[in-house]
């Protein structure tokens, strides 16, 4: 016989608490990940009209910003 026996109610309680900790951690990670995606999405929103256009110079045949 083992020297220390854990009652079933204690095992169940520890399992429920462990599951709650894992779920809490997973929710925090999902929220953190979504916040990071929103931050990157907001930073990458560039107005295409604000970007310069390149045109070929007919005299030198080089691309220049206009």
Quote the pLDDT of residue 22. Answer: 98
Question: Does 52 map to a domain?
Answer: no
- Using CA atoms, how far apart are residues 58 and 1, in angstroms rounded to an integer? 94
Question: Does 49 map to a domain?
Answer: no
Cα distance between the two ends of the chain = 87
Question: Does 18 map to a domain?
Answer: yes
Which stretches does DSSP call E strand in 7-62?
54-56
Question: Does 26 map to a domain?
Answer: yes
> Partners of 64 in the beta sheet?
55
- Using CA atoms, how far apart are residues 35 and 29, in angstroms rounded to an integer? 10
> How many structural domains compose the chain?
1
Quote the pLDDT of residue 43. Answer: 82
pLDDT in tens, 12-62: 999 999 999 999 999 999 999 999 999 998 887 787 778 888 899 889 889
Q: What is the pTM of this model?
A: 0.59
Question: Does 63 map to a domain?
Answer: no
Quote the pLDDT of residue 13. Answer: 98
Q: Give the domain range for residue 19.
A: 9-44
């Amino acid at each position: 016989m083992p020297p220390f026996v854990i009652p079933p109610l204690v095992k169940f309680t520890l399992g429920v608490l462990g599951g709650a900790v894992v779920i809490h951690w997973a929710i925090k990670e999902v929220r953190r990940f979504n916040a990071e995606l929103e931050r990157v999405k907001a930073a990458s929103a560039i107005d295409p009209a604000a970007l310069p256009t390149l045109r070929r110079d007919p005299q030198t045949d080089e691309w220049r910003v206009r």
